[in-house]
Amino acid sequence: MTQDEATRDRVVRVADELFYTRGVQAVGMDAVRAAAGVPLKRIYALFGSKDELILAVLRHRMSVWDAGIAAEAERAATARDRILAIFDFLDAWFREPDFRGCGFINAFGELGAASPAVTEAVREQKSTFQEYLARLVAETGAPADLAPQLAILAEGAQTTAAISGTPEAARQARAAAVTLLDAAIHHAGDLVPG
């Protein structure tokens, strides 16, 4: 890793934490400079603008999220357990003291109306997650319709936990996921009785 890459990485990590904790617009570039210990001139040489830094932060957060989900999932043996591991992952995350909701949803609410690039980045991370879920659902043999339903549960759990300030949404979403999985697998191919 070159010096530039190391500095870039450091700035992105620091900015990510600040943006997530306080909100993007509430954090000035000077706060990033102070926290990263990197001169403004250097930051602007590396990123060009705050908007570019924001996108770099979103990309970084996306890779961290993907790695975290994958790490939690690979400890489970079956696809069904890997799906449920996602909700255990959420549970642990919600209990972290500085949990403040999904950074992508927050960024979308804050900047999505004004920035198509932010919207695009957020949309990309959500669709990556949905595709991951779709693969797991396919492995279980359940109908493909199940995947977006589980994704909606995961999204809802994140906002509910953030706003309520409690982690219980993870457990509730997990229970719902179990019900949906059981219904999809046990009754696969059946019509819902009237």
Partner DNA sequence: TACCTTAGAGAACGCACGTTCTCAGCGCAA
Partner DNA sequence: TTGCGCTGAGAACGTGCGTTCTCTAAGGTA
- Contact residues: a copy of itself, CB under 8 A: 21-23, 25-26, 100-101, 104-114, 119, 122-123, 126-127, 145, 148-149, 151-157, 159-160, 162-165, 168-169, 172-173, 175-176, 178-180, 182-184, 192
Distances (CA, A) of 63 to 70, 103, 152, 161, 191: 11, 13, 21, 22, 40
Angle (CA) 148-118-106 rounded to 5° is 65
Q: State the CB neighbour count (10 A cutoff) for residue 155.
A: 17
DSSP letters along 11-56, please?
A: HHHHHHHHHHHH-STTS-HHHHHHHHT--HHHHHHHHSSHHHHHHH
Give the tokens for residue 133.
């879920």
- Residue number with CB closer to DNA (42 or 60): 42
Dist. CA 91–CA 144, nearest whole Å: 25
Q: Could you say whether residue 44 binds DNA (CB under 7 A)?
A: yes
Using CB distances below 5 to 8 A depending on partner kind, what does residue 182 bind out of DNA, a copy of itself, none? Answer: a copy of itself
Q: Which is nearer to a copy of itself, 7 or 150 (CB)?
A: 150
Q: Among 5, 28, 71, 145, which residue interacts with DNA (rule: CB under 7 A)? A: 28
128 binds, among DNA, a copy of itself, none (CB under 5 to 8 A by kind): none
By CB under 7 A, name the one of 21, 25, 127, 164 that touches DNA. 25
User: H-type helices in 141-188, by residue range?
Assistant: 146-164, 168-186
Q: Which CB, 44 or 99, lies closer to DNA?
A: 44
For a copy of itself, the closer of residues 8 and 104 by Cβ is 104
Binding site residues, DNA, CB under 7 A: 25-30, 37, 39-42, 44, 49-51
